[in-house]
């Protein structure tokens, strides 16, 4: 899984290994040209994973907590601004503005040349860290869908329910509105799942 990303004076390709969760970013800081430079980078700590769904995957409440003791940090001695970095996992998102603005997973760069020229920028890794797991302001990419008069607010379980078919059982509904995964990506529920008992013989 990979996708290109670019920012103000930086460009790269973000690759994620689904089996291990490792994230590799290859790119170049273009803000200082092709000069030799020291590139210091850091990103928020990886998404939290608890033993239960509740409390796992939420964004950090602020930047200070998101970056405290993060394993996602390092230095690259580059001859031309290019870099290759490995993250321990997809960085978590965090909030700014007293919880009103969601900052998606990103990597911050600070490049310094031998002559003392400095350039700082950031590269976005993804629109969200863990999908559907935010406690305050919605991500900017989803705001046009959520923050409207017709929207159901931040309770994403009910979002888009008008477009769903009529379900004949609770399991089909839960699968349709479940956490994004391979099955939901293939278009669940299918006809068979909407009527799971249709081929079961009646009790004698």
At 110-133, the pLDDT tens digits run: 999 999 999 999 998 887 777 767
Compute the distance between CA of residue 19 and CA of residue 13 in angstroms, rounded to an integer. Answer: 19
For the chain, the farthest-separated pair of C-alpha atoms sits apart, in whole angstroms, at 88
Bridge partners (DSSP) of residue 42 are 73, 108
For position 67, what pLDDT does the model report?
Answer: 95
**Statement to judge: residues 41 and 97 lie in one domain:** yes
Is 203 part of any domain? no
**Statement to judge: residues 148 and 118 lie in one domain:** no
**Statement to judge: residues 37 and 114 lie in one domain:** yes
For position 134, what pLDDT does the model report?
Answer: 67
Compute the distance between CA of residue 39 and CA of residue 77 in angstroms, rounded to an integer. Answer: 6
**Statement to judge: residues 6 and 99 lie in one domain:** yes
Domain that holds residue 96: 2-124
- As given in the structure block, the two tokens for residue 158 are 């009910």
Compute the distance between CA of residue 106 and CA of residue 129 in angstroms, rounded to an integer. Answer: 10
**Statement to judge: residues 9 and 106 lie in one domain:** yes
CB 120 within 8 A of CB 110: yes
**Statement to judge: residues 152 and 55 lie in one domain:** no
For position 159, what pLDDT does the model report?
Answer: 56
Compute the distance between CA of residue 45 and CA of residue 53 in angstroms, rounded to an integer. Answer: 19
Q: Burial of 59 by CB count in 10 Å (0-12 exposed, 13-18 middle, 19+ buried)?
A: buried
**Statement to judge: residues 87 and 42 lie in one domain:** yes
Looking at 97, 124, 151, the residue that finishes a domain is 124
Average pLDDT, the chain: 76
Give 38-54 as a DSSP string: EEEEEEPPBPP--SSST
Residue 26 has pLDDT above 50, yes or no: yes
Q: Please report, to the nearest 10 degrees, the dihedral formed by the alpha carbons of residues 181, 183, 189, 192 taken in order.
A: -160
pLDDT for 131-183, tens place per residue?
Answer: 767 666 555 555 445 445 444 444 455 556 666 667 667 777 676 666 555 44
Least confident of 69-83, 94-108, 182-196: 182-196
- As given in the structure block, the two tokens for residue 123 are 């590269």
CATH number at residue 46: 2.60.40
Domain count, the chain: 2
Say which residues have a Cβ less than 8 Å from residue 88's Cβ, sequence separation at least 6: 22, 46, 71, 72
Compute the distance between CA of residue 164 and CA of residue 109 in angstroms, rounded to an integer. Answer: 43
Which of the four pLDDT bands, split at 50, 70 and 90, describes residue 85? very high
């Amino acid at each position: 899984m990979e996708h290109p990303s670019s920012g103000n004076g930086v460009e790269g390709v973000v690759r994620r290994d689904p089996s291990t969760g490792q994230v590799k970013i290859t790119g170049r800081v273009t803000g200082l040209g092709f000069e030799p430079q020291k590139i210091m980078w850091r990103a928020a700590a990886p998404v939290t994973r608890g033993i239960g769904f509740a409390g796992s995957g939420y964004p950090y409440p602020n930047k200070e907590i998101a970056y405290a003791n993060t394993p996602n940090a390092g230095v690259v001695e580059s001859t031309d601004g290019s870099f290759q970095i490995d993250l321990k996992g997809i960085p978590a998102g965090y909030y700014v503005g007293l919880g009103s603005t969601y900052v998606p997973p990103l990597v911050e760069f600070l490049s310094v040349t031998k002559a003392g020229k400095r350039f700082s920028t950031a590269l976005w890794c993804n629109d969200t860290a863990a999908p559907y797991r935010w406690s305050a302001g919605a991500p900017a990419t989803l705001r046009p869908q959520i923050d409207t008069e017709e929207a159901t607010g931040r309770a994403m379980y009910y979002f888009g329910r008008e477009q769903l078919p009529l379900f004949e059982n609770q399991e089909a509904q839960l699968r349709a509105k479940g956490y994004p995964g391979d099955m939901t990506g293939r278009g669940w529920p299918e006809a068979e799942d909407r009527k799971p008992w249709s081929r079961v013989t009646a009790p004698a």
